[in-house]
Amino acid sequence: MLLLYSVLRMVDWDHCQKSLGISFRHASLLEEAFVHSSYCNENPEFGYRSNERLEFLGDAVLNFIVTEKLYKEFPELAEGELTEIRASLVCRDTLAELASSLELGDWLLLGRGEELSGGRAKASNLANAMEAVTGALYLDQGLAKARRFILRQLKPDLEEIKTGKTMPNYKALVQEFIQGEKKPTPVYRLVEAVGPDHSKQFTAEILVDGEALGRGMGSSKKVAESRAARAAWEKLRCSHGQTRL
């Protein structure tokens, strides 16, 4: 037990806090946020539980903070548009990118198998760590501090949305939803490409387990696939309800 605890204490938590720009009042909350379940499974006598409960809390806090910000920042947008933007900001890929920029993977406590399989760079582990840190900060210092922390990380994304330079990543949104449903990874198929080389129009479909979920057209295969993904996302939103997505 003492040996395992000493492993935890060997992590440079001061460096971690400096990287985050936060000074925790209760260091144990920050430490728990980085304990992966694989470490607990391989070390049953370890004194800390995994970060899964903090991840659960952080997910709710993140969703509230982003929802509140979008509601105030974009009064002209309808509910459906706000839902799509929120989903793109709190999806796994976005959270993993934020976690990577903060180097959260460096402080994860992983089991041996997870470590050897590249667990520090896995998008799921990074996104979960981001949620867990948010939950830990909320418990440690309240909603206002958690809000400042999250909005600081999301500032570039929010500014791009405000200037109209970016739209929700529909391909990422659809893929994350499909993975949550335990279905095969979406496949994009080029249906046709018509017109002269200088002004071709491409049509693409997105298929899941052989079923076409959406179709889109564009001046490039990438644009066509993105529009197909948006059509699929709209279909999934309608069939499952906006609260689910």
pLDDT in tens, 79-95: 877 887 888 889 888 89
Residue 199 has pLDDT above 80, yes or no: no
- Return the structure tokens found at 179: 């993975």
114 is a domain residue: yes
53 is a domain residue: yes
Residue 167: what pLDDT? Answer: 66
44 with 143, same domain: the answer is: yes
174 with 156, same domain: the answer is: no
225 is a domain residue: yes
Confidence band of 245 (pLDDT split at 50, 70, 90): very low
What's the CATH code of the domain at 151? 1.10.1520.10
Mean pLDDT for the chain? 86
44 with 155, same domain: the answer is: yes
30 with 12, same domain: the answer is: yes
Residue 165: what pLDDT? Answer: 58
Residue 56: what pLDDT? Answer: 97
pTM: 0.70
**Catalytic (active-site) positions:** 59, 131
157 with 194, same domain: the answer is: no
158 with 217, same domain: the answer is: no
11 with 102, same domain: the answer is: yes
Q: How is 13-35 classified by DSSP, letter by letter?
A: HHHHHHHHT---SSHHHHHHTTB
Number of domains making up the chain? 2
**Domain containing residue 203:** 170-240
245 is a domain residue: no
Confidence band of 151 (pLDDT split at 50, 70, 90): very high
13 with 70, same domain: the answer is: yes
54 with 94, same domain: the answer is: yes
- Return the structure tokens found at 222: 């990438």
Residue 240: what pLDDT? Answer: 63
Domain ends where: 162, 195, 223? 162
Domain ends where: 162, 179, 195? 162
155 is a domain residue: yes
Query: How do residues 205-238 score in pLDDT, each as one tens digit?
Result: 999 988 999 999 887 787 788 889 989 988 887 7
Confidence band of 46 (pLDDT split at 50, 70, 90): confident
Domain ends where: 162, 194, 219? 162
Mean pLDDT, rounded, for 196-200: 76
